[in-house]
Chain A
């Protein structure tokens, strides 16, 4: 158990001592043979953030995957996993498979065919059995070979040709029904099959993981399977899935940002005496105005100006930036957004008009007039134009945020624009998506700009972005 908690902490989950104790308490109440309940008992006490669920699940699967019904948790509470009995259990599993005649002696075609039938009928037990057979047959796992699970997964899936199978299932479903499928029905059928195939993939992945754990041991596996938590994922190298979860997390963050600024406003000095309210309040003291009431000060709405680099060198970050800008625009009443490469263009309207973020991003990428000469970043020129066209609109209420890596392709910096902006605006910040160690190397001129701003922040993942938001408060 303690090994499990240590591994969770290694994966980045903040598990406190009390939570650990709670988990210990919790599993006492759970029937030990109920694996699902055991898992949920641990999850509910140890994982307090939905985004961490995936990391938890991975660690859990690695640690407790081998414990069949015959194992009791209490016996293993010291965290050690009994290697011998593991192997025994594995071989039993293998034998069971062989006994059913579905093990290694089946031809690939037979496996594929049986798998197809199982998928078609949605037979889960059969699917699980076939997943095992498929891994045995196709993955070609060699003990001790130091490759990750994804390699084996890829090999297995390549041999199964699941996409082809999906098409075949669709055809058969079409033949079965008397009339032609309507597009809606077709879509629903396809999704149902797709769902089953996804289940199968998960089953295969789990099977590979189980075998790898048996081969290499728990600690080694936990290490290789470790993935960064959503808040630690680097924007620049985020996969599509990770990007989606980052996007989800941005929403609350912008709300937090708005709340921070709003709170600052609320805590300000109280306004003038509110005579009416004071008299009303005094009634409860028998007409003695013991508790004077004040008007709330008129809140001054913060105005946000975002100037973002969307050039190729920060492409991945730019995508995130646009999402951030879009989210910000929903939270603040006055946001003006500008994007630039070597020319600069205002895109506020595009975000306002489009209900759908993807359309908005698409419009920015296609319609915004950001290329002046060659489409390589030129901060100097972009800033120059920015100042010329929009500089007079910056006021003492504005907060200006620059987003970019300040890689200027050795053009003139025009740093005076940032200086002048900072002079006029309430505050000026720069978010840089590059690791700090890269700053000012090569054509990066971040420090020429940064001296004029109120702060430059390395902003490569959600945690750092959150740090920035916290800093504002």
Chain B
């Protein structure tokens, strides 16, 4: 990756804005630094604040391909790094046997079947061997077991993959790596140490309003302001699941579709189910919004 993908901080912000992602000062700084230092970013924060969206936006901004590795419990090497295409290898051996039966040389065969042709690249290897610039997104890394986490370490610090049969494959260019985590468990120190840390929280009032204005077509400034205010108000109530940014956007879109330009109690009460996903939360919010002044 060229040293000068971004000129300075301001250009990162402008770039992200041009792809409709409103970054605050912290996000822009970290993205900028990650590119300059060639380090992965570990993004943490509540669900639905735009962690995955950030990676997508950065990819869009840099005109690079996004390679995504969705983590889940039970993810292993074969799914994350690479796998030998043994069926094809088997075919190869058998077809060899058919052609010149009896005089195949084992070393030849071995060289033959352990090369790139029979290697199935999985997201991590693909990101490293790519010729074009890529953004690698390792989504919800907290879902894999601690043991599997170690698998990522080599890639994250040295940008290389060791395959016993082939040797070490080094990255042709250093991809920008994003890891996201919902913080369901503590990640290992080793992983954290290798990453830049970015915590994204719910945006403040002004930023949320801007996000709404940016993302929702045909919304009035006045309505956006009200939406942001109501959402902030709801987030202050202790709920099982606070409304996320994406839910705010859904809500705003609904209001626009319904042709509502002023939020009163009735509207708020009726459409709460878009913001909140638990019945108990909805009831609680209803109570709070209408009783408390």
Task: Mark A residues whose CB is within 8 Å of B.
Answer: 14, 16, 18-19, 22, 25-26, 29-31, 34, 36-37, 40-41, 43-45, 47-50, 53, 182-184, 186-188, 190-192, 195, 252, 255-256, 259, 263, 284, 286, 355-356, 358
Contacts and interface: CB of A to CB of B under 8 A. Distances in A.
A184 B264 contact: yes
A97 B26 CA distance: 31
The bracket for how many chain B residues form the interface is 35 or more
Interface stretch (B117-125, B211-219, B230-238, B252-260): B230-238
Nearest to B230: A188
Contacts of B238: 356, 358
A22 B37 contact: yes
A358 B226 CA distance: 29
Contacts of A50: 44-45, 183, 199
Given A284-B86, A355-B280, A40 B29 contact: yes
A256 B145 CA distance: 11
16 contacts: A19-B193, A29-B32, A29-B37, A31-B9, A36-B25, A43-B26, A50-B44, A50-B199, A183-B293, A188-B230, A195-B205, A252-B184, A252-B185, A252-B186, A255-B184, A356-B284
Given A36-B25, A50-B199, A191-B236, A44 B280 contact: no
B49 interface: no
Interface of B: 8-9, 25-26, 29-30, 32-33, 36-37, 39, 42, 44-45, 86-87, 90, 145, 183-186, 189, 192-193, 195-199, 205, 226, 229-230, 232-233, 236, 238, 240, 263-265, 268, 278, 280, 284, 289-293
Given A44-B29, A50-B44, A184-B265, A255 B185 contact: yes
A43 B175 CA distance: 23
Contact of A356 (B33, B86, B186, B280): B280
B39 to A, nearest CB: 7
A256 B186 contact: yes
A355 B278 CA distance: 10
Contact of B292 (A16, A22, A183, A263): A183
B269 to A, nearest CB: 9
B25 A37 contact: yes
B290 A183 contact: yes
Contacts of A47: 197
A188 B233 CA distance: 7
A235 B75 CA distance: 38
A336 B254 CA distance: 44
A326 B65 CA distance: 45
Contacts of A184: 230, 263-265, 268, 289-290
A186 B184 CA distance: 37
B245 to A, nearest CB: 17
Contacts of A30: 9, 29, 33
The 7 lowest CB-CB distance pairs between A and B, nearest first, are: A355-B280, A40-B29, A48-B192, A29-B36, A50-B199, A44-B196, A48-B197
Given A36-B25, A44-B33, A256 B185 contact: yes
